[in-house]
Amino acid sequence: MRISYVKIENFRNFKSCEVCLGQNIVLVGENKAGKSNFIEALRLVLDPSLSDTQRQLSSQDFWDGDGEEPFDGRSIRVTVQFTDFADSEPEYLPLTWLSSCLIETEPLKVAQLTYLYYPDRNGGLDSSEGTHITVEGNQHATTLDEDDYKWTIYPKDDPDETFSFRGMWNDMPMRYVNALRDMARDNRVWQRSPLNQLVKLSGLTSSQLQEYADKIAETSAEILSEQKALADLEKEIQDRLLEMVGLLHNVEPQLGLDATTPDALLRALRLFVDGLRGRPIDRTSLGLQNVIYLALLSLELDKKTEKRGSQTKPYIPMIALEEPEAHLHPHLQRLVFKDFLDRAGKRRQPVIISSHSPHLVSIANVDDLVLLKDRGAEGSKAFSAYEFLQSLGEREHKDLARFLDITKAEMLFSRGSLFVEGDVEVILLDIFARIMNISLDQHGISVINNYGAAFQHVVTLASKLTIPFAVLTDGDKFNSVTGLQRGLNLLNTLAPDQKDEIQQWYDGVRFEDVRIALKSNGVFVNEWTLEPSLLAAGLGPELKATFDELGDELGATVKAGAQHVGAYEAEPSDDNMKRIIAAISDTRWGKGRFAHRLARHIQSRADSVEDEEVKRELVPLYIREAIEYLINRTNGSVDEENDI
């Protein structure tokens, strides 16, 4: 079973948001984009732990981005659709409950439930004056307030049809785990302890513990009878209370050990850590406490699913975890959540996760990713990878999944991404931005290393998730496939309606027109490689100084590189540039180390320049244009029609 579709209307961040979903839901996006509120919306429909009072919403729960009054006849609605369930175990369970909710039967069964918070005057959606109070709130007879509103959960599209949602919650509940849980506190309070359910599922009975409880009671009595200090203390407590309240209110307190009954013995169970040292759980790190919590939750779900299955009462909970990566080392994030998601997948139990962690995203299925974005007056919107992946072939699908490693997963947490070919650009881009008096971090822009010039998959993903981006790629004029040709191929995704015309320009050797057209679609191509662009920006002295510095580090005189730079400055020929490129790639240091040393020299040069316009000229033109283009995109200054 999976949650296949969600629509949220007039609830908190969401004016009207709808999205199709994969097996799980991994919510990512900036702060205040609505990740927590998306989960809260699902809880209104699915979580039995929410009380009826909590489902009775307030004025603060209405979308207020349009300036309308909250109780102005409008409603809050959350619609959830389910699919991928069948007549066999355990999928027949959803069919048992959701058969009365079916809105489609072919080619797949689709069931729908809706939470509705609505104006209810005189027991219906009509006001006492006879004026209809519409769901959208276009008409209303009188001023309404919270007392005039009710909530309901109904099947299909009929608010008047009843549905046993409380019965469904018993077999198909949402289990919600808050990001701010306190594992150590829950461990101390039996009612909240994650051990509680596991002990109940273990099959242990009170009668099996009676013998041990009796022994503890005997030991308690023996301690008090043989330890005179405790007996005297007990007598002093009794006397002081008697003096204070008198015989009428006296309760004769006695000292004793707590766990002298089977139930008390169970309540005394605690988790300890560090093996035989037996340290309390609050003596370990917060991260490991979270790991233990999730391990217990996973084990409970396994045991409860197995037990209910043996009783022919299948159990298919939906697990919602808010920012479960809190306090976890990256290795633990990947290990814990891969295991948690794999086990939930085997149980066919949907998992909903909100996260700020690229480490977690890197092990999630790309189909499960949902990016939430604040669209201002339109409210928050959800963009699902699942929706467009269905149109891809198997190979393209696998390539995208492979692509989403940790470095590239950062794009999902950025307001904009600069896609570059390799480490050199990653090292230099931040320096160039600072020279332009721009902080990429303040603009929420990430530099994403594509580890090569094949940008198709990252561009496809960014386009479909509406992540603003710019591509920086080399012209590679001597390669079999040039940078302009790669840019033309990207137009199949970015601007298919422009592709044929721009291709004709390329075939007609109108390369500068092609380059300008690609810029308007976010693809910035230099003439050859980065090195000629650095020299065109007047950074020849910095390149020479870098060769000298690397020679000093090696204890050798390195003349060739600086000489090649000088030769190119005197005669900018292709052969001289090839020699510079070869020298930069010298195996004694490699391009990455060269770029690292070069960055300091470029920064030093920029610091010595007072004229801001002269300083900006130190940034290669195509890089400068790409940064400015992307900042305009993230600020909304570029025509929204460029969003795919």
Q: Say whether pLDDT at 121 is over 90.
A: no
| 116: enclosing H helix or E strand | strand 110-119
- Domain boundaries in the chain? 1-182+290-404, 194-268, 405-642
3-state secondary structure 270-327: CCEECHHHCEEHHHCCHHHHHHHHHHHHHHHHHHHHHHHHHCCCCCCCEEEEECCCCC
For the purposes of burial, counting CB atoms within 10 Å of the CB of 203, is it exposed (0-12), middle (13-18) or buried (19 or more)? exposed
Q: Say whether pLDDT at 128 is over 90.
A: no
Average pLDDT of the residues of the chain: 86
CA distance 450 to 461: 13
Contact 82, 2 (CB under 8 A): yes
Residue 183: pLDDT band with limits 50, 70, 90? low
pLDDT at residue 87, as a whole number: 53
pLDDT at residue 133, as a whole number: 45
Contact 197, 187 (CB under 8 A): no
pLDDT at residue 136, as a whole number: 45
225-234, 238-247, 398-407, 434-443: segment of lowest average pLDDT = 398-407
Quote the Cα angle for 5-8-13, to 5°: 130
Contact 24, 3 (CB under 8 A): no
pLDDT at residue 326, as a whole number: 81
Q: Say whether pLDDT at 266 is over 90.
A: no
228-232, 280-284, 418-422, 515-519: segment of lowest average pLDDT = 280-284
Tokens of 101: 């909710």
Of 290-299, 345-354, 603-612, 630-639, where does the model show the most confidence? Answer: 603-612
Q: Checking DSSP bridges between strand 469-473 and strand 416-420, what pairing results, if any? A: parallel
Q: Say whether pLDDT at 126 is over 80.
A: no
Q: Say whether pLDDT at 583 is over 90.
A: yes
Choose between 392 and 384: higher pLDDT: 384
Residue 567: pLDDT band with limits 50, 70, 90? very high
pLDDT tens-place string over residues 366-378: 889 999 999 989 9
CATH ID of 1-182+290-404, from 3.30.70.20, 1.10.3720.10, 3.40.50.300, 3.40.50.1100? 3.40.50.300
pLDDT at residue 92, as a whole number: 57
> Rounded to two decimals, what is the model's pTM?
0.82
Residue 122: pLDDT band with limits 50, 70, 90? low
CA distances from 195 to 184, 201, 295, 637 (A): 12, 10, 11, 54
pLDDT at residue 497, as a whole number: 95
Residue pointed to by tokens 């890197």 = 362
CA distance 139 to 132: 7
What 388-396 contacts at long range (C-beta under 8 Å, 24+ apart), as own/partner pairs, is 388/460, 388/464, 396/457
Choose between 181 and 174: higher pLDDT: 174
For the purposes of burial, counting CB atoms within 10 Å of the CB of 305, is it exposed (0-12), middle (13-18) or buried (19 or more)? buried
Residues 246-258, mean pLDDT to the nearest whole number = 80
The rounded percent of the chain whose pLDDT value lies above 90 is 48
CA distance 112 to 108: 13
Tokens of 9: 């209307």
pLDDT tens-place string over residues 64-97: 887 788 887 889 999 999 998 765 555 555 667 8
pLDDT at residue 141, as a whole number: 47
Phi-psi region of 523 (alpha: psi -120 to 50; beta: other; left: phi over 0): beta
pLDDT tens-place string over residues 276-333: 667 777 778 888 888 888 888 888 888 888 887 777 677 888 999 999 888 888 888 8
Residue 439: pLDDT band with limits 50, 70, 90? very high
How many residues in the chain? 644
Tokens of 555: 């204890």
pLDDT at residue 495, as a whole number: 95
Residue 124: pLDDT band with limits 50, 70, 90? low
Residue pointed to by tokens 């689709």 = 110
| 131: enclosing H helix or E strand | none
Residues 570-581, mean pLDDT to the nearest whole number = 94
3-state secondary structure 449-469: ECCCCCCHHHHHHHHHCCCCE
